[in-house]
Amino acid sequence: MNQNKHRNDAEPTKPAFFSKTVVDDDKPPPYVHLAYNVDPDLEHDENELNDVHHNQPVYLNYNDTEESLISHHPFDNTCKFPIIATYPEDLSSYRVGERLRRLKCENKEFPMASQDSEGYLYVHNHWEHFKNITTDVKCKILIIEGGLRNPITNKGKDVFTPVKVYDAIVNKRLWINADSYLVRCEREGELVWEKPFAGMRDVNKLKNTMTVEKDVNSLNPYGLKLRKAPEIVPDRYSVDVIGFDSTARTMFFRHMPRTVDTMNKLGYHFLYGYNKVGDNSEINLGPIFAGDIPEHKLQPKFDISGDLNMDWIFPQHSKLNPDNIQFLWKLMKEKYGCRTMLNEDISRKFYGLFTYPAYEYLPGFTELPTDHYYRAYYLAVYNKWKYGPCKNSEQVQREFLDLWYRFGQKYKNICHFGFTFFTTLTHESGLLLETLDEYLASRLAQLNMTGALDNSLSMIMSDHGNRLGPQQYTFSGRVEERMPLMAIRLPNDFARKYPTEYAHFLKNKFKLTSNFDIHQTLKDIVTMRMGQKNVVREGRGLSLFTDIPKDRTCRDVHVVYNFCTCMIDRSNDTNVSPQDKRKYVVGDTRPERVRQKSQEAINNWLQETELNKCVNSTSLEIKDKINTLSVNPYVRHGFRKQTNLTNNENLKIWRHKLDYFYYEMEVSATTVSGDAISMLFRIEQEVKRKLFNVVFEPFVQIAPQQCYRPSLIETCSCLLKGFKQTTVPNIK
């Protein structure tokens, strides 16, 4: 294909299945059988109790002074992205649904040095444990540096080197003014214990030094409390980001319940329509932290399939020099003088974001990219060790998390940008993430208590969902892979200072968004351009602080079709390949059957949530048109790319494996006060167990003017409590 043809912005020819599902017969049968590949002899009780979707009575004391929880309804979008249950049936088996609340590491050795929560070091090589004395052991502190590329040889990123050595002072509170160091203990020249530590050097003091510090700085030597200088509030917002590899929003909900509960209390907002733009970490993190880079314009916009070229989204075969990439932390440091940190759990010494693989990047930075860069520390951690949850008899990831915590505490009164990224716990599965749940929740609570969150945009996110574990073969796993975790907490005074931007933000968390939108949002914070008129935002993406259109498509947010979660019409899909002779457990989608089961599901939902106090169940009427939706075949089959045209053609004969169907329908009813109300319901059909359930909550389309809200719960709160509003009803 002519490359020049790729370079224009004309809409390309859409790949197969882009606008509708291709089926084997242009004339569908009178009704459609849905297939699910399970043991045909397995019995399924149609009335089986579905504890996964158990609903609870809702709180109906909402009043008009409270912030709406659904200021824009996710069903009110052109893109019908799926909202799957937190505990879906196909992710509840023992292989993918294991729960592990606490991790116990085998105690193979006793530590001879340890750090406190502020990063001070204590060396205790004599008294190891009660009644045991370690004799003749001498410890040294080796400050290490490295992890940088030699610009001449292009080597060095995988090497660390001791640059200074100190004899350890025992049983004192030591400050090692370096970011990375080792404590090495020997007896008569033989190594008996060694461990890497991560410090956080004071950039205003001489680096690579060791000093003895007071245990309590707030008291004089006799215990009298000292006055402290008043804290200075910076005139710029800061950015604190912590990321977990391969973690979907719903996976995070499943395995981090205490953290999620804490985040909700602290005011974090989860993005429900956030869709990744590419396959792996590099292509998903680059657009967030670097946005558009000049090299992408050198690539053709479309590939041979007619869809967006992945190298145009973010170059993956250009051997980029990471020194030249204008990361947001670089902008914040160089232009605004803020402190910066890049804290990446590399998992193996030759890996690393923005330094690997060789066809994407030159091997490493040639100089420190941030004030605190921890590659040398992680090289020491992973030296002759393959990653796992335990090291030195402890859960090593807690130490990685503490760097994120200490950076936020240290610079809470100084503008800063910190990025911490975990790989080892979640790259293969989500099980071990749960072992950090209560620890992360407590760290968040402490940051809030000390005011470290007050002036920062705090973001807890992922690059993508799980791509490697057994869950990837399930329907819900395919969706989760494409809809990663993205949660944002805004500075305490943001809503007061920038009410327009805040109102847009609340609506946009329920709209289709992608990585480039996050970049524009972070850039707004970095450059402090909120509240300004006629702001020109260069590059792709729309800030969450602007009015994002609800009619966006995957093409608008630069998401290729095989990663696009916008559901398509599957009403004529037989779900069975004529070449596949196996037997399947089937369910049918005859219109009268769907209507009957949907009516039952809605009635049950109203009763369980006690919203039947507001909506008269006997007055429910499902309108004639019911839309049948599910993900496109490229998504369900887990395509990583579309450039294999043979595989694209095979989709026409492969079974589409539609384990879940979603039916959208308009439902009219009357309220208990006799007023008319119209709602858009989405019903999930789980084919395997023949279950129908209400998804999320319905979108209110028409309601009494004084009580209209997109949320049925909030609308009913108004109708039952009688408070007044001036909002005009949003009639579809």
Q: What is the pLDDT of residues 446-467, one digit of tens each?
A: 999 999 999 999 999 999 999 9
Instruction: Give the three-state DSSP class for 477.
Output: helix
Question: In the prediction, which pLDDT does 724 show?
Answer: 40
Give me the mean pLDDT over the 704-724 stretch. 85
Residue burial 53-73, b: 16+ Cβ < 10 Å; e: rest: bebeebebebebeeeeebbbb
Question: In the prediction, which pLDDT does 61 show?
Answer: 65
The answer to whether the beta carbons of residues 629 and 661 sit under 8 Å apart is yes
Bridge partners of residue 241, in order along the sequence: 419, 459
What's the CA gap between 19 and 8, in Å, rounded? 22
Q: Dihedral sign for Cα 129, 133, 136, 138, please.
A: positive
DSSP state of 69: S
Question: In the prediction, which pLDDT does 586 show?
Answer: 47
Least confident residue range of 1-10, 260-269, 326-335, 687-696 = 1-10
What's the CA gap between 591 and 571, in Å, rounded? 10
What's the CA gap between 631 and 639, in Å, rounded? 12
Task: Examine the pLDDT at 26 and tell me if it is beyond 90.
Answer: no
Task: Examine the pLDDT at 730 and tell me if it is beyond 70.
Answer: no
Give me the mean pLDDT over the 543-563 stretch. 98
Task: Examine the pLDDT at 626 and tell me if it is beyond 60.
Answer: yes
Task: Examine the pLDDT at 2 and tell me if it is beyond 60.
Answer: no
Residue burial 640-678, b: 16+ Cβ < 10 Å; e: rest: ebbeeeeebeebeeebbbbbbbbbbbbbebebeeeeebb
DSSP state of 308: B
What's the CA gap between 610 and 615, in Å, rounded? 9
Maximum mean pLDDT: which of 226-230, 262-266, 391-395? 262-266
Amino acid letter, 465: G
Q: Residue for token digits 């106090």?
A: 613
Question: In the prediction, which pLDDT does 11 show?
Answer: 40
pLDDT band at 55 (very low <50, low <70, confident <90, very high): confident
- Tokens standing for 271? 């993005």
What's the CA gap between 73 and 729, in Å, rounded? 14
Please write the tens of the pLDDT for every residue from 407-429: 999 999 999 999 999 998 888 87
Q: CA 613 → CA 192, 489, 551, 607, 673, distances in Å? A: 70, 35, 34, 8, 10
Q: For CATH 3.40.720.10, list the domain ranges present in the chain.
A: 242-347+387-563
Which among 234, 102, 96, 68 has a CA at the least distance from the CA of 697? 68
Task: Examine the pLDDT at 22 and tell me if it is beyond 80.
Answer: no
% of the chain at pLDDT higher than 70: 86
Question: In the prediction, which pLDDT does 9 show?
Answer: 41
Question: In the prediction, which pLDDT does 220 show?
Answer: 86
Q: How many CA atoms lie within 13 A of 155 on its CB side?
A: 2
- In this predicted model, which residue has the larger pLDDT, 690 or 442? 442
Instruction: Give the three-state DSSP class for 539.
Output: coil
Please write the tens of the pLDDT for every residue from 187-214: 989 999 999 999 999 999 999 999 999 9
Which residues, including other chains, have CB under 8 Å from residue 29's CB and lie 6 or more apart?
574
Question: In the prediction, which pLDDT does 127 show?
Answer: 59
Q: Under CATH, what is the fold of the domain 242-347+387-563?
A: Alkaline Phosphatase, subunit A (3.40.720)
The answer to whether the beta carbons of residues 142 and 158 sit under 8 Å apart is no
% of the chain at pLDDT higher than 90: 68
Which residues, including other chains, have CB under 8 Å from residue 586's CB and lie 6 or more apart?
33, 34, 35, 36, 687
Please write the tens of the pLDDT for every residue from 125-165: 765 555 566 778 899 999 999 999 999 999 999 999 999 99
What are the phi and psi torsion angles at 692 (to 5°)? -120, 130
Q: Residue for token digits 């109906």?
A: 60
What's the CA gap between 539 and 575, in Å, rounded? 41
What's the CA gap between 483 and 154, in Å, rounded? 36
Instruction: Give the three-state DSSP class for 420.
Output: strand
Bridge partners of residue 274, in order along the sequence: 513
Give me the mean pLDDT over the 565-575 stretch. 83
Please write the tens of the pLDDT for every residue from 498-522: 999 999 999 999 999 999 999 999 9
Question: In the prediction, which pLDDT does 231 show?
Answer: 81
What's the CA gap between 417 and 189, in Å, rounded? 43
What's the CA gap between 721 and 658, in Å, rounded? 43
What's the CA gap between 649 and 627, in Å, rounded? 26
Question: In the prediction, which pLDDT does 278 show?
Answer: 96
Which residues, including other chains, have CB under 8 Å from residue 151's CB and lie 6 or more apart?
366
What's the CA gap between 324 and 6, in Å, rounded? 26
What's the CA gap between 682 and 684, in Å, rounded? 7
- Tokens standing for 338? 């803020």
Strand order in the sheet with 121-123: 113-115, 121-123, 173-176, 210-213
Question: In the prediction, which pLDDT does 657 show?
Answer: 81
pLDDT band at 66 (very low <50, low <70, confident <90, very high): confident
- Tokens standing for 428? 């293969």
Which among 19, 9, 14 has a CA at the least distance from the CA of 567? 19
Question: In the prediction, which pLDDT does 75 show?
Answer: 98
